[in-house]
Amino acid sequence: MTRTKQHITNRQLNELSRKGNEKLTEWVYKRLDPADKLPGNTINLLLSIGQMIGFLEKEIPSYHIARWQHFEGQKPYWLIKWTEGRKPRTINYEFKSKILCDALWEATKEKLEK
């Protein structure tokens, strides 16, 4: 039985710019229990699937997540998508991966870098 990837990796976390990392740190700190905010404490920024879903629900209430397979025999993949703006100046965002955690990370990273 294969295990589902539950958290992003250090390599993925290091893809963030300084701005993205600061936004992520701020978001995580706001959700920590007050007892965990003591000086010198370190925090874990390796987001889980649930944390990324929570982030996307707050930041992009209209996002969609689906497991997708276009053709019979094609391997299914996860699709995260949303649209921003108003016609005629809408921007469509779409992230695909065979691994749910990776599709969520790409969407989360996009929003953190804005």
**Domain ranges, ordered by start, for the chain:** 10-112
Residue 11, pLDDT above cutoff 80: yes
Give dist(CA 9, CA 12) in Å, integer: 5
Tens of pLDDT, residue by residue over 19-35, are 999 999 999 888 876 65
pLDDT for 32: 74
Tens of pLDDT, residue by residue over 54-83, are 999 999 988 999 988 777 777 888 999 999
**CA distances (Å), origin 36, targets 10, 29, 91:** 22, 9, 38
Is the CB of residue 101 less than 8 Å from the CB of residue 49? Answer: yes
Give the mean model confidence (pLDDT) for residues 47-57.
93
pTM for this model (two decimals): 0.84
Give the mean model confidence (pLDDT) for residues 39-59.
85
